[in-house]
Structures are given as structure tokens and as C-alpha cells.
Structure 1
Amino acid sequence: MRRVLFPLLPRSLLARNIALLVALVALAQVCSLTVLLHYVQRPRIERAAIIFADYVKTLDGVFAAMPADEGRAAAARLGGQTQLPEHTGLEPSPSAIRFFRTYQRDVFVEALQRYLPPDIPVRWQSGDGERLWIRVHVAGGPRWIALPMTEDAHASGIAMTLALSAGLALLAALTGYLIQLHINRPLQDLARAARRVSAGDAPVALPTDGPTEIAQVSRAFNQMTLALQQAEATRALMLAGVSHDIRTPLTKLRLAMAMAIPRGADDTFVASAEGYLDQIDTILQQFMDYAGSGEREVPQPGDLNALVGQLAADFAGLGHEFELLPGDIPVFAFRPVSVMRLLMNLMQNAVVYGRTGLFVRTWTEGDSAYVAVCDRGSGISAEELEQLKAPFSRGRNARGHSGGTGLGLAIVERIARLHGGSLQFRPRDGGGLEAVVALPLNRHSA
């Protein structure tokens, strides 16, 4: 039953609470109406039917005791007929609106017939004029006499009661809606703040002066945000400090080797040693890049296509040709150094692991600019690359490549999130992979 009913429920908490409130108000109105009709209106109608039955029996006795001519004349003055009209007793088609109008009439006629003798039947005529037909005995024969019934005879204020109940139900639903909106506002602020944390921003502290339950959640979120900021600052300081401190003895080691190795020594050994030192320096630079990632860099308007073209020319000078397909991207604000680092990491990965089919394209879609760095490499899937976004993660095809720390894609991911964007990997048509970076065009980065 739960599996059947759960998909039918509204998705949002606001809609569910409003639906529950409307259902409870409707149930309360139905119960109140049932009590009103069964325990209030019905006894009143039956008492009125008893009094009316006594009146009809008295009227029938008077007609029966009158001489024939006088009785027929009196019945004629009251519109007496020997036969009922053709449409008497026909009920209109059922209608929810007419139900409340006809309920009291039906109860009245049923009670009246119960308190009258069997030889005095009654019929209700519906139509343009509401009439109650009663068969009395006049001069030894039956005569049908019509008594006009006014609207209040069968309405008795029930229509106004129903209208008032419906108005109160709508008022209760509207009040509940406004209250729920007031409760949902802190939750919406919490969701926005959580998205900012996910994007790498520092959100404004949430207010804690609301309802107790919401205030507790806001305080816990503020404490979590503060702890994350402190941990991030400690991590960045540690990485930057370690990288900086190691570079000092590294520089001294390079100088000592240059002074200690005599001229004419084994060139292979010298080149190998210098290569190792370069790898250590590259690793330290990656640590410093990851520790910084451009948080302090001020965004400024720039041409993304020009930046891509500049990097492609630099790679072409090193013997790696990238085919370009620039799209129509307007000038927008971004951190130029950080975005250049982002593109360099992706293009370097394409050169190292893809080798062929190097291609970069840019385009706009919606409110974002997109850059796709593509290659025709094989050996690593888009799913595995998604896992390599985590710091210090290296793929199985990286074992043959030295000088890496597993921070390249983590740096790209952090820079994209810093701009409010994203990094995704997907298979390229015809084979290979493409890394797609989305950067918002109209985001005001802090």
C-alpha cells in the first residue's frame, strides 16, 4: 500500500502539508455537516412533520364532516383536483448541488407520510413552483389539495451554512499556506547556502532566531561551515608551507650538484639527476597550485576563446597541435590565471594520455560558456576519470608517467567550482574522451 500511495503524494513539503491541511479541513466539514443534518436538522424536521400531520388530519376531518356540496366548493377554493398533475412525484436528475436542497424536503415528506393514515397519501411537486399535494376525503371521494411551499420550507438556511463552511475551509487552507511559506523560507535559505558550500563559496551565516527546530539546524550548519573553512585554511597553509620549505633545500641541492659534478662527467647521469629535480619541482608546484586554486584572484572580464588560442599556440610550439573550433562566446568575468591553469591541466592530460585527435571547442548554452578538451586516447573510461577528481587519485594508465601527484583533475575541479561551474567527462563520438568545463556567464564571483 505504501508503494502505491507514495508516488501519488506531492513532492514538496509545502504541497504535502497544504494537501494534508485541506484534507483535514474537508474531513472536519463533512463530519460537522453529518452531525448537523442527522442530529440537528432531522429532529427539527420530524417535529414539524408531526405538527403538520395533525393539521392535515384535522383538515381531512373537517372536509369529511361537511355536506357534499359545501365540501366540494371548499375544496375547489383550495384548488382541489380529482387527479394529480402529470409531473407530480418526478424527481430531477441527481446533483450534488441539489442534494442539500432536497434532503430536508425528502425527510419531511417521509416523516409526514409516516404520521398520516395510509389513506391520506402526500406527493411533492417539483418544478417552477414547489407544492405539497395531499389527498383528503371530500363528500366521500378523494380530492388532491395543493399547498404551496416557500423556499425556506426546505432550505432553512442550509445553503448559507454550506457557503460559510466552504469559506472557512478556504480561509484555513490559505492561512496554512502562508504559515508553511514562512516555515519553508529558512529551509530554502539552508538549501541555497548548502549549494554555495558545494560550489566552493563561503556562505553568509544563517539566522538562528526562527523556530526552535529550524534554529538548531541553522546553528549546526553554521558550525559545519566554520569547521570546513578552518580545515580548508589549515590544509592550504600546510600544503603551501611544505611546498615552500622543500623548495629551499631543493634549490641548494641543485646548486650543490652543479658545483660538485666536474665538467666532462657522465652527461647521462647529470641529465637524469636534473630530470629528477625537475620532477620534484613540478610536484611541488602542483601542491602549491592545489593549495591556492585562485581563491584570492579577482575575476575580471576576459575573452575565453583568446585564452584557448594562446594555450593552443604554446602547445603547438612544443610539437602538440590542437585543432580548435571556437564558438561565439561573449566577454565575461573569470579568474584568468586560474582558468589558464585549468585549461593547461586538461590539455596536458590530453597530450600525455590521449596523444592523438587533440581538439578543443567552445560554445555557449543557456547562461554558461563551455570548453571541451578532446582526444582519441584509450585505456581509461569517463567513469574512472570522474573518480580521479578526488585529490591524490591516479589512474591505472598513469603508472608509466612520472612526475604526477594525482592533483591535476582535482585542481581543475576546484577551479571550476570556484567559478560556480562544473567538470564532466563523457565519451567522444568516434572514440576517445572529452572533458567538458562549464563556466557561468553572469555569476559574480567573490
Structure 2
Amino acid sequence: MRRPRWSLFSSTALALVGSVGTVLLIALGAVTWLVTVPMAQRSAQDLAGLIVLSAQTWVDTPPSARADFAQILAQEDGIRLEAVPQLSRLHSTRLPYVRFLHDALARRVTNCPPDTIDPATGECVYIGERAQGAGYWLELPVAGQILRFEFSRQRVGYQVPILLGIILIGGMSLTLLIALLVTRQLTRPITQLVEKLPQSLPEQPLPLTGPMETRLLIDAVNQRTGQVRQLQEQRTVLLAGISHDVRTPLTRLTLSLALAEDSLEPTLFQQMQGDIEQIHRLTDEVLQIARGAAQSRKESGIWRDWLSAWLEQTRARGIAITCETLPPADQASFYLATDSLRRILDNLTENAVRYGRAPYVLRCLRRDDAQVLCIEDHGAGLSRAEIEQLRQPFARKDAARTGVTGYGLGLSLANALAEAQGWRLRLTPGFEHPFVAPDERPSGLVACLIVPIASAPKSLNASANARY
């Protein structure tokens, strides 16, 4: 199944951040235009009034007392006042509050001498920024003099961009933090549910956590899990009873057949003996599917040693199988259900021998997140539709076409055992081999067992090529 691009956590967090962030931006815009900007304009008008009043006082004050007046103005109001010989004729500032101050002064200073008016603006109030960002200055003509007012950045009443930036960054950070906490609280129980269910049925009921809807979902899953476990137990008991009941007459038939061996033709005796062995094998496979891997215990060992032993056992049964890409010096350890692994590889190998043709190959590969074991043959191969059909119990390729009989439980049993251990069995035609270059692909069926890295050997060098 294709993995979704967005998880419940990410989509919920983005929805919360997006919605709350949009509301925050709208509220911030409303506060800016309805509250902050009007307050800044009123503050600029008050400061403009103080500057005009100070300019008039400067003109009315005797020259000998102007220095004292400038000192008092600097100490009490933070404004430095001095007379300059000529206008700077600049309009360089980007701070909105200083622009508000300039506009307020321009409305108050209307009787400008002709030689002081800026042709571009029609005003005689000039404004700029002091060197090295020390503050701002204003120049305006008053009674034939050019007065220059300087004040620091701290003297400016409302610094709108800085204030808006603090509100926006703080609000978005707080929104993101709250969204992540709330989303984690909502999605954590569901995430735990998703993590536990694909592996196997939980041994204990999942804890009821999260909001009401999540609790109801977990409770429903717990109830359904209990029902499924009960059905599995009943199925196992039923099939175990059938297996036991079938074995008793089979034992009698075997004994009777052994006693009657001398009176039967050799060909008929071998056929009857083969039929009894097939019935034994059928009951074993059906019971194994019913039990799944519940009784499969995990063991630790050296990967190379275990796989080499399995290859020897397989060859001892008369199957000429070789191994590709198994490093001879690899001593990686593992901890997994070796009984299930052995049964899966046995079934895949027997299926390859029964329906395919030699050479038979076990290919060992290592990927970033999984250990891969592929059983390959060079038979006629299968189509995708036939492969999907063979995953079902009692499904097999047409015996009239293959000349081979069977019960169709090998692949379904291997698939059931793999799913019970959290592994994945991938069946593909040889020409679509996902792990081999096109010129090395076999003609028959490729059955790859994909073991997640958590239960696979810790290291397996897939670059070496050694044939056994």
C-alpha cells in the first residue's frame, strides 16, 4: 500500500497553525490600523507641537540665554536644539513614526520662505537619520533662522515595525507550540494503535487515552481484537482436533498398508503410500496456518552460520541450491523466529523445485531498512494475476499445464508466517526482479522475504559475490 504523504499529526498541526496564524494576522492587521497607527499619529502630533513650541521659544529667547534653553530642552525632553547655517534638504527615513512626525510638522509650519521650499514636496520641513543610527534630525526655517532638532531612537514614541514584529513572532511561536502539544495529545493514541496492530494482535487491551472519539475507537479495536483472538483460538482448536482425528485412521491405514505390502503391486503400494504422506503433509500445513507464528520463539545466532546450515540441509534433501552475495567473513548476529524463517525458506524452495527449473538460487541482499532473502528459479515464470492468485490458500497453478500436483498451501503458509512476524513476502516475475540488474534476472518466479532492520542482522555486506 502506498504510504500517505501526510500523517494525522502533520496535517492536524498544519491546520491548527494555519487557521490560528490566519486569525492572528487578521487581528494584528486590525490592531495595527485601528489602534497602533492612530496612537503613533497622536504621539507624533504631540511631539510636533513640542518642537514648534520650542522653536518659537528659541526665537523669543535672547541669544545669551539660548544655550541654557537648549540644555534644559535636552535634559527634560531628550531633544537637542541648535541653529545651522543652511538646510540639508534631505528626506531620508523609513521609520513610520518619524514620517508621521514630519507630516505633523509640515501641517504646522506653513509660512515658509521661498528659498527654503522643496520643489518636489512643496514643504520646508526636512528630515533624516543621524550617523551610525544614533537617531534622527529635523530642520525647519523659523524667523529667518534654520533650526535643527536631533533626538535619539529611544525618544521616538511608538516604533511600529518593531512592535508588530515582536507581536507576530511571539504569537506565531506560541501558536506553533500550542498546536504541536494539542496535536500530539490528539494523535498519540492513534499512532500507538497504528504501530501495534500491524505487528500482531496486542496481548493486552490498549489503554484508553485521548479525547472521547479516540477512546471510543480504541475501545472498539479492543473489542474486535478480543473477538478475532477468540476466533483464532477456536479455529486452532478445531483444526487441531481434526488433525488429531485424521491422524488416527491414517496411522491405521499406514499399518494396514505395511501389512499388505506383499500382496500389492509395487506401483500401487508406492502410490498409496504417497497419498498417505500427502494427507499427512496437508494436515500439518493446515494446522501450521491456523497456529500462525504464535508458538514461534525467537533465537539469537550468527546469520552466516545459520544460513549455511540451512543450505546444507536443503542440499541434503536433494535440492541443488546455490547462494549469491553472502559474504564469507560476515559474523553479524540476529534475534528472530528461526522456526518461522526456516519454514518460509523451505516452502519457497519446495515451490521453486515443484513448479520451476534449476538452477535454484538463494540471493542475500541488504537494503537501508531491511534484510532481503530471495529464492529464484529459472522456470517458465508466472504472470502478475497468477502470482496474486497463488497467495490464497489452496490456490495453485494449473496441474494440467505443469504436470505437478499439490494442495496450494506453500505460498499462503509462507505469507501467513511472514505477516505474523512483521516481515513481508514479495512475489514478482523474474523479469521484474526489484533487486537485480536486468541482465542478471532469472526467468522464473522470484520470492523475496523482506525482514525489517530491527529483526535483521546488524550488518551484511551485499557487495561481495561468493557462490556456495
- Using structure 2 for the length normalisation, give the TM-score: 0.73
Q: Which amino acid aligns with 1:438?
A: I
CA distance in 1, matches of 2:213, 2:20: 21
Partner of 1:132: 138
TM-superposition CA deviations, 1:354-407 (whole Å, max 9, x none): 121112243555575443222111131467435533333323468645653322
Match of 1:55 among 47, 53, 59: 53
Contact 1:391 1:410 in 2 (8 A): yes
Contact 1:355 1:377 in 2 (8 A): yes
Q: Which amino acid aligns with 2:141?
A: R
Partner of 2:178: 175
Contact 2:97 2:160 in 1 (8 A): no
State the Cα distance separating 1:245 from its structure 2 match: 2.2
Match of 1:348 among 343, 347, 350: 350
TM-superposition CA deviations, 1:124-149 (whole Å, max 9, x none): 23223533222233xxxx43222334
CA distance in 2, matches of 1:331, 1:147: 81
SS at match of 1:130: strand
CA distance in 1, matches of 2:215, 2:400: 48
**1:135/1:173 Cα in 2 relative to 1: closer, same or farther (>3 Å)?**
same
Contact 1:345 1:412 in 2 (8 A): yes
**1:221/1:84 Cα in 2 relative to 1: closer, same or farther (>3 Å)?**
same
**1:130/1:302 Cα in 2 relative to 1: closer, same or farther (>3 Å)?**
closer
Partner of 1:332: 334
Contact 1:350 1:375 in 2 (8 A): yes
Partner of 2:379: 377
Contact 2:396 2:407 in 1 (8 A): yes
SS at match of 2:395: coil
**1:267/1:126 Cα in 2 relative to 1: closer, same or farther (>3 Å)?**
closer
SS at match of 2:426: strand
State the Cα distance separating 1:253 from its structure 2 match: 4.3
SS at match of 2:86: coil
CA distance in 1, matches of 2:212, 2:28: 32
Partner of 2:222: 222
State the Cα distance separating 1:341 from its structure 2 match: 1.9
Q: Which amino acid aligns with 1:90?
A: H
State the Cα distance separating 1:229 from its structure 2 match: 1.9
TM-superposition CA deviations, 1:337-363 (whole Å, max 9, x none): 333222211111111111211122435
Contact 2:37 2:160 in 1 (8 A): no
Q: Which amino acid aligns with 1:117?
A: T
Q: How does 1:64-79 map to 2 (within 5 A)?
A: 79=82
**1:52/1:312 Cα in 2 relative to 1: closer, same or farther (>3 Å)?**
closer
State the Cα distance separating 1:91 from its structure 2 match: 1.1
CA distance in 1, matches of 2:45, 2:286: 92
Aligned length: 412
Partner of 1:231: 231
Instruction: For structure 1, list consecutive stretches of 5 or more residues without a partner in the other structure.
Output: 1-5, 93-98
**1:182/1:72 Cα in 2 relative to 1: closer, same or farther (>3 Å)?**
same
**1:59/1:336 Cα in 2 relative to 1: closer, same or farther (>3 Å)?**
closer
Partner of 1:240: 240
**1:438/1:170 Cα in 2 relative to 1: closer, same or farther (>3 Å)?**
closer
CA distance in 1, matches of 2:47, 2:453: 78
**1:356/1:397 Cα in 2 relative to 1: closer, same or farther (>3 Å)?**
farther
Contact 2:41 2:100 in 1 (8 A): yes
State the Cα distance separating 1:299 from its structure 2 match: 1.9
**CA-atom RMSD, angstroms?**
4.0
Partner of 2:195: 192
Instruction: For structure 2, list consecutive stretches of 5 or more residues without a partner in the other structure.
Output: 71-80, 114-123, 434-440, 457-468
Q: Which amino acid aligns with 2:53?
A: Y
Contact 2:377 2:442 in 1 (8 A): no
Contact 1:392 1:405 in 2 (8 A): yes
State the Cα distance separating 1:159 from its structure 2 match: 7.2
- Using structure 1 for the length normalisation, give the TM-score: 0.76
TM-superposition CA deviations, 1:130-182 (whole Å, max 9, x none): 33222233xxxx43222334545533465774475244543343333333333
Partner of 2:103: 110
**1:157/1:361 Cα in 2 relative to 1: closer, same or farther (>3 Å)?**
closer
TM-superposition CA deviations, 1:18-60 (whole Å, max 9, x none): 45444543443343233333333324434554x4587389669
SS at match of 2:448: strand
**1:409/1:398 Cα in 2 relative to 1: closer, same or farther (>3 Å)?**
farther
Percent of residue pairs identical: 23
Contact 1:53 1:116 in 2 (8 A): no
**1:44/1:433 Cα in 2 relative to 1: closer, same or farther (>3 Å)?**
same
Worse-superposed segment, 350-359 or 272-281: 272-281
Contact 1:376 1:431 in 2 (8 A): yes
CA distance in 2, matches of 1:153, 1:20: 38
**1:236/1:53 Cα in 2 relative to 1: closer, same or farther (>3 Å)?**
same
Contact 1:89 1:125 in 2 (8 A): yes
Contact 1:311 1:344 in 2 (8 A): no
Worse-superposed segment, 432-441 or 280-289: 432-441
Contact 1:131 1:147 in 2 (8 A): yes
CA distance in 2, matches of 1:71, 1:184: 77
SS at match of 2:425: strand
Contact 1:81 1:144 in 2 (8 A): yes
Q: Does the alignment pair 1:436 with 2:448?
A: yes
Partner of 1:96: none
Partner of 2:464: none
Partner of 1:279: 278
CA distance in 2, matches of 1:400, 1:150: 96
State the Cα distance separating 1:190 from its structure 2 match: 2.0
